[in-house]
Amino acid sequence: MELLTTDEMARADELTIADGTPGFELMRAVGRAVADAANDLAEEGPILVVAGRGNNGGDGFVAAAELAAQGRDVSVILLCDRATLKGDAALAAKGWKGEVLPCDPSLIGSPALIIDALFGAGLDRPVKGDPKVMIDAINASGVPVLAVDLPSGINGNSGAVMGAAILATETVTFFRPKPGHLLLPGRSYCGKLRVIDIGINDGVLSRIGPKTAENNPDLWQDAFPLPRVDGHKFTRGHAVVLSGDIAATGAARLSARAALRGGAGLVTVASPRDALAVNAAALTAVMVRPIDTAEEFAGLIGGKVNACIIGPGAGIGARTAGFVKAGLAAKRSLVLDADALTSFADAPDRLFDLIKADPEAEVVLTPHEGEFSRLFSDLSEESETQSKLDRVAAAAKRSGAVVLLKGPDTVVASPDGRAAIASNAPPWLATAGSGDVLAGLIGASLTQGVPAYEAACIGVWMHGEAGSEAGPGLIAEDLTEVMPAVFRRLYDRLGIPY
């Protein structure tokens, strides 16, 4: 599903109004949907609507009137003077025949449900003063909260908390979610997210051209590499994974096994000679070749090899950098992870220049925040002015590679502006070796000819699903072993027989 920024959503609104649906019709549809959700959340008992000065508050007034008409006991607190309301919000407030209470936290009482209609897409500065006191009091009340569009205080584009934010039980949004519904911390403030149809035609999307989407099979199913009946292991491609030295071979083996489980036809671990026996003893379906130098590596991948995974346990320094350069020179699809990234920390532009020298290069960089800040110091987490989405998009443009920034809300961005946010990773996926498996899964799709952006998105989604499939207590080895169940789940979802 596409994700719309607050500006893109406002444009969807404008286009719908220009096509003949009055804005107030949309607000009525929102208000009715909010009333339905409120009835689901609280079947009985009083409901308090806390409304702000804009159209989010207008939605709240419509919901209040609808619920009162259904016989519910409803009260309304308004952040501003009723007489100062404008436009559709003023119209909505006219439809509310009950009393309007002032913004005083002592008036919250103990309702069965609070409807949060303070701020939505129009939040444009940190929350302070009266609204902040109100938000803090609502959070402290322990009453379930239904947020309209966004939990008030959450930035719809970045998911950031702007001073204070409502911790919602459920959030109802309309037409399409916003990036802030999926990016942290926003996602954890939304509670359960419902996306409601309010009569905006999908046709407006082609006029808006959104570039960001939720990472799920709807996004990449057309690119997903299905094994062909007439195929064989060579048509499914050959991946090479670089092993570290004798004390650091496990990471490469995890990647290699994930590449094989993920669908690569053949996988070879390129191992230093002194670690050959260790690797060979621990591998069965994965092959092993003795490789000590970048020249030997170039020789190996110069044959029938489609993709290389370089970085897990590889070691930091010139040796690993040399293998990366060999991979790029051979024009193989590449996953560059962990030490392959840190090996360029001194001069990231050297890496980016090499990648950009070949406009056809299919390269995925898979940093965690620490590795990301080594390559893109000005875009690091500490630069609080930019959202994770903006930071990764800028990194992709700069590097010429698809950049995947790991986390509970993993973002994948392409140099062409496309980006995807994942929300299917369970918390227990953050475990030693998990990233090595992810690199292998991405390599599996690259090996089968999937373009870098889709390969990265597929890998992230499969990895998240594997985490859920394996469940709490998983270790990285489990992720590769549940892949058949993840494939079955995906095939079922796509209606593909097996």
Residues in contact with K ion by the rule CB under 5 A: 116, 120, 147-148, 152
Question: Closer CB to ligand NPW, residue 43 or residue 124?
Answer: 124
Q: Who's near 145: CB < 8 A, 6+ residues apart?
A: 113, 114, 115, 116, 138, 151, 166, 167, 168, 169, 170, 191
Residue 152: contacted member of K ion, ligand NPW, none (CB under 5 to 8 Å, by partner type): K ion
Q: What are phi and psi of 468, to 5 degrees?
A: -70, -40
User: Which residues is 420 bridged to in the sheet?
Assistant: 213, 412
408 annotated as a binding-site residue: yes
Minimum Å distance from CB 201 to ligand NPW? Answer: 12
Contact residue for ligand NPW among 2, 8, 59, 390 (CB under 6 A): 59
Burial class of residue 228 in the structure, from the number of CB atoms within 10 Å of its CB (0-12 exposed, 13-18 middle, 19+ buried): exposed
207 lines the binding site for ligand NPW (CB under 6 A): no
* Sole window of 33-41, 53-61, 222-230, 410-418 interacting with ligand NPW (rule: CB under 6 A): 53-61
Which residues make Cβ contacts (< 8 Å) with residue 496, sequence separation at least 6? 226
| Interaction of residue 27 with ligand NPW, rule CB under 6 A | yes
Does 122 show up as a binding residue in the annotation? yes
Q: Which of 95, 105, 122, 144 binds ligand NPW (CB under 6 A)?
A: 122
Name the binder of 33 from K ion, ligand NPW, none, CB < 5-8 A by kind: none
Of the candidates 416, 421, 237, 401, the one whose C-alpha atom is nearest the C-alpha of residue 334 is 401
* Residue that has been written with the tokens 């004798």 in this structure: 246
- Among candidate residues 186, 112, 101, the one with its CA nearest the CA of residue 149: 186
Closest to 450 (Cα-Cα) out of 221, 215, 212: 221
Residue selected from 54, 367, 415, 459 as contacting ligand NPW according to rule CB under 6 A: 54
125 lies in the site for ligand NPW, by CB under 6 A: yes
- State which of residues 8, 34, 50, 56 lies at the interface with ligand NPW (CB under 6 A): 56
Residue of the chain from 3, 4, 9, 437 that contacts ligand NPW (CB under 6 A): 9
Q: Which is nearer to ligand NPW, 152 or 373 (CB)?
A: 152
Tokens of 88: 């559709």
Q: How far is the CB of 134 from ligand NPW (least distance, A)?
A: 11
The full DSSP string for 240-261 is EEE---TTS-HHHHHHHHHHHH
Q: Tell me if 55 contacts ligand NPW by CB under 6 A.
A: yes
Q: How many CA atoms lie within 13 A of 237 on its CB side?
A: 24
* Binding stretches for ligand NPW (CB under 6 A): 9-10, 12-13, 26-27, 30, 52-59, 119-127, 131, 148-149, 174
